Amino acid sequence: MSAHATIKRVSTRDLRARKGGVPVVCLTAYTAPMAQFLDPHVDLLLVGDSLGMVVYGMDTTLAVTVDMMINHGKAVVRGSQHACVVVDMPFASYQESREQAFRNAARIMAETGCAAVKLEGGLELADTIHFLTERGVPVMGHIGLKPQSVHAAGGFRAHGRDAAEAARVMADAKAVADAGCFNIVLEGTIEALSREITAAVDVPIIGIGASPACDGQVLVTEDVLGLFSTFKPKFVKRYADLGSQISDVAAQYAEEVRARTFPADEHCFGIPAKPRALEV
């Protein structure tokens, strides 16, 4: 038996049971090394389609493909052994029909080994979510600010400011919960409404730019680490500024290469170590 077989991963069932309990801790991961660093500390690793913007330098997530998600999903599953791994379904891979959604979700799950998929949408996708969950595909919902609908929504903006929009986000939450989602991401939504939704729906609500009252929180890891500097949403807390450290390291390396102080003797093969000075 391998060492991996003895460690039980957090399951979607475990996460479904976290309503009102200890908050669910979630971060994004796109690569095996990042997954390894984060895995012991989080309940859920999300392979988000935000990778289009964060890793590939795209302006939006719209051009991300199923193949990209599968490649990054495989890496994150390989790099983790504790957290539940959820992979985002990218734009245009599930909206056409529930059959299209099932085909792509099944491919993502079979090829990556992830435990669930996430898709963006509310009432209009409830039937699709029900179709998937009834067929063995655990689904994480995503409502409020939906980055794949950025053009339709008129930009990246907070949702639920007026009564009609607030009623729609609440209806979306109830619809995807009833359709069988095990957890629901609630993004960029007015705090009071996020609190109300968390109280009204019996599925754990995972907030990002939502409310501390949510049943869990998710952030994009590169935002947290200061590795993504194109823009910083209001809801991001930067815990480190690794981008500046990388820049300092590159500058120091460049200086040492140009000055021929790197590599030193200890980095070269066949140069005997210098005798240590006698201590007196």
Q: Which residues carry out catalysis?
A: 187
Residue 58 CB contacts under 8 Å (≥ 6 apart), including other chains: 52, 64
66 binds ligand KIV (CB under 6 A): no
* DSSP of 194-258: HHHHHHH-SSPEEEESS-TTSSEEEE-HHHHHT---S---TT------HHHHHHHHHHHHHHHHH
Residue nearer to ligand KIV on the CB measure, 153 or 265:
153
Q: Which of 15, 18, 28, 70 binds ligand KIV (CB under 6 A)?
A: 28
Shortest gap between Cβ of 172 and ligand KIV (angstroms)?
Answer: 15
Based on the shown chain and the rule CB under 6 A, indicate whether residue 208 belongs to the binding site for ligand KIV.
Answer: yes
Residue 117's CB is within 10 A of a number of other CB atoms, namely: 26
Among 220, 224, 225, 227, binds ligand KIV (CB under 6 A): 220
Whether residue 140 contacts residue 86, with contact meaning beta carbons closer than 8 Å, is answered with yes
Q: How far apart are CA 127 and CA 221, in angstroms?
A: 32
* CB of 9 closer than 8 Å to CB of 40: no
Give me the 125-154 binding string for ligand KIV, x by CB under 6 A, dash otherwise: -----------------x------------
CB atoms within 10 A of CB 228: 19
Stretch that binds ligand KIV, among 45-53, 150-158, 261-269, 271-279 (CB under 6 A): 45-53
The single residue among 48, 90, 122, 141 that binds ligand KIV, judged by CB under 6 A, is 48
Q: How far is the CB of 53 from ligand KIV (least distance, A)?
A: 9
Q: Which residues bind ligand KIV (CB under 6 A)?
A: 28, 46, 48-50, 88, 142, 185, 187, 208, 218, 220
